[in-house]
Amino acid sequence: MALERSSAALQRTHLPHGVADYFWTEARERRLLEARLLELFRSWGYGDVIPPMFEYAETYHARAGSELESEVYRFLDRDGSTLALRADMTIPVARLVATRLHDCAMPQRFCYAGSVFRYTEPQAGLQREFAQAGIELIGSRSPQADAEVMALTARALQAAAISQFKLVVGQMQFFDGLLEALNLAPDRSRALQRAIDRNSHADLLEFLRTVSLPEAHRRAVEEMPLLSGPEVDAVINRAEKVCLNAGMHNALNNLRAVADNLDAYGEAGRLYIDLTEIHNLGYYTGITFEALTPELGFAVAGGGRYDNLVASFGADQPAVGAALTSERLLLARRRTEPARSATHPASPDVLFGIAPEAVSLKSIMPIVQDWRSRRLSVAIDVDGLVDDALLEFGRVTGAQYCIRWTDEGAVVTAMNQTASASRFVPASQMDQLATEILNAISSAD
């Protein structure tokens, strides 16, 4: 019984495995990042969408790949329906377009930021609840649409202060065309896919040892691990020599067209072609890509083309999209800027203290409101601290300026200087003082 009480008490005071509290600096960084990314997406013509936090589990069933399907959180509604927490943003947006926007002019562009939930083992930069920001371009099959999504992903990474990264690009059609030409039994097809996906030389050799293939087919399989590199034309030219059908040729033509269009955005130099990149959420049909940084051993963003997903809900529309993982972006940024790693309470620009016996709160509110409207962060001391106690509280909270208000004006202390920097400023000069503080803070940034 005591053990049960202890367990119950632990559950009341601790979080479940795979979720986290974000507060102070971490929370602010996440909010600012999401706001910055959404502002960027909107500037490219993408409109906001907010999918529900949970849907019928059937929405994900058969549309997600086996890995994503196994990670979906399911629960029963009171009416007996099986529901699922949002495990992916793309699938709900596809449902929305197919069922409610099928009569709208295409293409449609959407952007979002929010949490998704996956039952997976937590790792650096990725809990079971994690934040994504992303885009979906629905209604175009063109390579230019693919390039736009990839270019916007690149600009989003730069907006997140990630400057060093590569866009690793694959093409699902190429591998699908290979499987079609090989015409393997299902278990052999899965074995080949597993060997390629894991980049396992041993598994690939075992596959070739156990499966009898014509010479051209065998050569195509043997070449797969070699079809990658930063030189787009060289990789595509090598891949063309082992194409077995029109599907594989079409995939390479698409890759070349996407690279040409991406060059117009000035981002083609970030490309790394990898035709073994066949990891699939279950709905990709064309290009796939991941953004990799030197700081992390895993992707900070990814996306691809999914031409059949919208049709699974109704109206047939091709589509391409991408998502960035907020926690991983911030983790990569912290590893290049260690000073960002510390978390601390929000620090006001100005801490206002008033002498209750000398002046009323109401009398200073017009000044405080004016300063706040100028984008100064102003906190008011609510405990009646005076003199050294107020200055000490300002130091502890990280305020850049402490202002002790009297009936004649303000005693101003710049907290990043010595106490001797305190000076008296008459009430008539509050407008000039606000401008001075704003300029000083801007110069420090």
Helix (H) or strand (E) run with residue 394 in it: helix 387-397
Give yes or no for residue 6 having a pLDDT over 90.
no
For 296-328, b/e burial (b = at least 16 CB within 10 A) is beebbbbbbbbbbbbebbebebbbbbbbbbbbb
DSSP H helical ranges for 130-264? 143-159, 172-182, 186-197, 201-210, 215-223, 232-240, 246-264
Place domain 350-444 in its CATH homologous superfamily.
Anticodon-binding domain (3.40.50.800)
Q: What gap in Å lies between CA 284 and CA 281, rounded to an integer?
A: 7
Write the single-letter amino acid at 342: A
For 218, other C-beta atoms within 10 Å of its C-beta total 14
Q: What gap in Å lies between CA 81 and CA 40, rounded to an integer?
A: 39
Question: Are the C-beta atoms of 307 and 285 separated by less than 8 Å?
Answer: yes
Q: Mean pLDDT, to the nearest integer, of 367-380?
A: 95
Per the listing, tokens 């099959």 go with 141
**Over the stretch 388-412, which tens digit does the pLDDT of each residue have?**
999 999 999 899 999 998 878 899 9
Q: What gap in Å lies between CA 133 and CA 131, rounded to an integer?
A: 7
Write the single-letter amino acid at 346: A
Q: Mean pLDDT, to the nearest integer, of 137-143?
A: 97
Max alpha carbon distance in the chain (Å)?
A: 96
**Which pLDDT value is given to residue 122?**
79
For 436, other C-beta atoms within 10 Å of its C-beta total 14
Q: Mean pLDDT, to the nearest integer, of 295-305?
A: 92
**Which pLDDT value is given to residue 298?**
86
**Which pLDDT value is given to residue 265?**
96
Percent of the chain with pLDDT over 90: 72
**Over the stretch 179-217, which tens digit does the pLDDT of each residue have?**
999 999 999 999 999 899 888 889 999 999 999 999 999
**Which pLDDT value is given to residue 26?**
87
Give yes or no for residue 420 having a pLDDT over 60.
no
Q: Which DSSP string do the residues of 225-237 spell out, in sequence order?
A: GG-EES-HHHHHH
Give yes or no for residue 256 having a pLDDT over 90.
yes
pLDDT bucket at 165, cuts 50 / 70 / 90 = very high
Residues 6+ apart with CB under 8 A from 439: none
Q: What gap in Å lies between CA 137 and CA 401, rounded to an integer?
A: 47
Q: Which DSSP string do the residues of 293-350 spell out, in sequence order?
A: -TT-SS-SEEEEE-TTTGGGTSS---EEEEEEEHHHHHHHHHHH-GGGG---PPPPSE
**Which pLDDT value is given to residue 105?**
95
Question: Are the C-beta atoms of 198 and 319 separated by less than 8 Å?
Answer: no
**Over the stretch 69-80, which tens digit does the pLDDT of each residue have?**
889 999 999 999
**Which pLDDT value is given to residue 82?**
96
Q: What gap in Å lies between CA 308 and CA 323, rounded to an integer?
A: 19
Q: What gap in Å lies between CA 57 and CA 73, rounded to an integer?
A: 9
Q: Mean pLDDT, to the nearest integer, of 367-394?
A: 93
Between these two residues, 3 and 256, which has the higher pLDDT value? 256
Q: What gap in Å lies between CA 437 and CA 107, rounded to an integer?
A: 48
CA angle 64, 229, 324 (to 5 degrees): 40
Domain 15-339 has CATH 3.40.50.1970: no
**Over the stretch 210-247, which tens digit does the pLDDT of each residue have?**
999 999 999 999 999 999 999 999 999 999 999 999 99
Percent of the chain with pLDDT over 70: 93
Q: What is the pTM of this model?
A: 0.88
Q: Mean pLDDT, to the nearest integer, of 2-12?
A: 56
Q: Which DSSP string do the residues of 3-67 spell out, in sequence order?
A: HHHHHHHHHHHSPPTT-----HHHHHHHHHHHHHHHHHHHHTTPEE----SEEEGGGTTTTS-HH
> Six-digit token pair at 149?
């999504």
188 burial level (CB within 10 Å; 0-12, 13-18, 19+): middle
pLDDT bucket at 339, cuts 50 / 70 / 90 = low
**Which pLDDT value is given to residue 360?**
81
Q: List the domain boundaries for the chain.
A: 15-339, 350-444
pLDDT bucket at 286, cuts 50 / 70 / 90 = very high
Give yes or no for residue 42 having a pLDDT over 70.
yes
Between these two residues, 181 and 341, which has the higher pLDDT value? 181
Question: Are the C-beta atoms of 146 and 118 separated by less than 8 Å?
Answer: no
Mean pLDDT score across all residues of the chain: 90
pLDDT bucket at 25, cuts 50 / 70 / 90 = confident
For 385, other C-beta atoms within 10 Å of its C-beta total 18
Provide the 3-class DSSP secondary structure of residue 160: coil
